[in-house]
């Protein structure tokens, strides 16, 4: 089943696909049974916070929309605005990197939070299937900003919702908040760093999703970088997921 554009009430509609396509996708998405026990799965969770996401709405032809500099650069420039402030594609790619990862498919992603530059904070449930195309993703973000909540059409299950600051109130106890910033003087081997962390610690990673990759370091316990060179949000997420998948013996 695939998600369609959001309905007027903030629900996500679904489009029925041919049964053959469903069967083929089901076989492709099959994953072996995880060796972890239910207790271990409940204990081993990782959370993500995306900071400074470039999700902004603007008036286009008398209609509000969330533009992206990749598709709407001409419109943004005509309004004398910086196209780098409308790079919602960075968040889109980072979310897909998490949601499509084996780490998430095994239920080891606890929560995902997104902080927009204008101060809005919203939660993305790990089970959501966000639109694959950037245009539809921008439409979803516009719907979320207007409705404050996105639900499934049938069960009314909450998939995305705007929540109140501070984000730390939603993190589990015994959390260790790790900020990733290429400006940090602390360069680490991420595999060695995470292998030294006890499994009883609740890991939370803060990743910048603006062009500069900046994060708010006020609430992080440790700020580090995994390379001497700038790394995209998608690249950072991919590296973290890969290391944790091996640390928790998914493969």
Residue pLDDT, tens place only, 215-237 = 999 999 999 999 888 889 999 99
The token pair that represents 148 in the structure block: 């404050």
User: pLDDT value at position 183?
Assistant: 85
pLDDT at 77: 86
Q: What is the mean pLDDT of residues 174-196?
A: 94
Q: What is the pLDDT of residue 229?
A: 86
* Model pLDDT, residue 4: 42
Quote the CA–CA distance of 240 and 140 in Å, as a whole number: 26
* Residue 12 pLDDT greater than 90, yes or no: no
At 97-107, the pLDDT tens digits run 999 999 999 99
Tokens for 143? 């719907």
How far apart are the C-alpha atoms of 25 and 2, rounded to whole Å?
Answer: 11
All structural domains of the chain, each given as residue ranges with its CATH number in brackets, are 43-54+88-248 (3.40.1280.10)
pLDDT of amino acid 28: 44
Lowest model confidence (mean pLDDT) among 12-26, 51-65, 110-124, 205-219:
12-26
Q: Which of 75-89, 162-176, 206-220 has the lowest mean pLDDT?
A: 75-89
Q: What is the pLDDT of residue 170?
A: 97
CB 153 within 8 A of CB 13: yes
What does the alpha-carbon distance between residue 212 and residue 112 come to, in Å, rounded to a whole number? 21
- Residue 17 has what pLDDT? 47
Angle between helices 233-247 and 88-99 (to 10 degrees): 10
pLDDT score of 159: 96
Q: What is the mean pLDDT of the chain?
A: 85
The pLDDT of residue 37? 55
Model confidence band, residue 20 (pLDDT cutoffs 50, 70, 90): very low
CA end-to-end span of the chain, whole Å? Answer: 27
Q: How far apart are CA 204 and CA 48, in angstroms?
A: 6
**% of the chain exceeding 90 in pLDDT:** 59
């Amino acid at each position: 089943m695939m998600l369609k554009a959001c309905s007027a009430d903030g629900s996500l509609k679904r489009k029925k696909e041919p049964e053959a396509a469903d069967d083929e996708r089901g076989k492709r998405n099959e994953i072996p049974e995880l060796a972890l026990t239910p207790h271990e799965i409940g204990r081993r969770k990782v959370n993500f916070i995306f900071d400074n996401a470039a999700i902004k709405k603007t008036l286009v032809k008398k209609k509000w929309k969330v533009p992206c500099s990749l598709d709407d650069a001409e419109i943004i420039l005509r309004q004398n605005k910086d196209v780098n402030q409308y790079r919602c594609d960075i968040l889109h790619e980072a979310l897909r990197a998490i949601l499509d990862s084996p780490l998430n498919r095994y239920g080891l992603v606890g929560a995902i939070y997104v902080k927009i530059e204008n101060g809005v904070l919203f939660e993305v449930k790990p089970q959501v299937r966000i639109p694959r195309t950037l245009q539809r993703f921008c439409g979803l973000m516009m719907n979320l900003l207007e409705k404050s909540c996105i639900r499934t059409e049938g069960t009314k299950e909450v998939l995305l919702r705007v929540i109140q600051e501070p984000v730390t109130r939603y993190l589990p106890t015994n959390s260790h908040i790790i900020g990733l910033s290429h400006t940090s003087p602390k360069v680490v081997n991420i595999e060695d760093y995470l292998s030294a962390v006890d499994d009883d610690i609740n890991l939370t990673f803060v990743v910048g999703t603006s062009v500069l990759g900046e994060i708010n370091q006020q609430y992080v316990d440790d700020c580090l970088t995994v390379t001497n060179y700038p790394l995209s949000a998608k690249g950072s997420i991919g590296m973290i997921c890969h290391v944790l998948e091996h640390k928790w013996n998914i493969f």
